[in-house]
Amino acid sequence: MKNEKELEEKILKLAEIIKNSKYLVFFGGAGTSADSGVKTFRGKDGLYSSLYKNKYRPEEILSIDFFLKNRKIFNEYVKEKLPIEGLKANKGHKALVYLEKEGILKTIITQNIDDLHQVSGNKNVIELHGSLKRWYCLDCGEKFTKNTTCECGGIVRPEVTLYGEQLNQKTVDDAIYELYEADTLIVAGTSLTVYPAAYYIKYFKGKNLIIINNDETQYDTHASLVINGNFAEVLDKVANIIKKN
Ligand code: APR
Instruction: Report the Cα 28 to chain-centroid distance in Å.
Output: 4
* Alpha-carbon span 224 to 235, nearest angstrom: 17
**Ligand 1 proximity of 114 Cβ (cutoff 6 Å):** no
**Ligand 1 proximity of 27 Cβ (cutoff 6 Å):** no
Residue 129 appears among annotated catalytic residues: yes
Going by alpha carbons, the residue nearest to atom 29 of ligand 1 is: 194
**Ligand 1 proximity of 190 Cβ (cutoff 6 Å):** yes
**Ligand 1 proximity of 34 Cβ (cutoff 6 Å):** yes
pLDDT tens track for 45-69? 899 999 999 999 999 999 999 999 9
Question: How do beta strands 125-127 and 105-110 pair?
Answer: parallel
DSSP for residue 126: E
Going by alpha carbons, the residue nearest to atom 10 of ligand 1 is: 31
Kindly give the parts of the chain with pLDDT less than 70: 1-2
Looking at residue 43, its pLDDT comes to 82
Looking at residue 231, its pLDDT comes to 98
Residue 245 CA, ligand 1 centroid: distance in Å: 32
pLDDT tens track for 177-217? 999 999 999 999 999 999 999 999 999 999 999 999 999 99
Question: How do beta strands 105-110 and 24-28 pair?
Answer: parallel
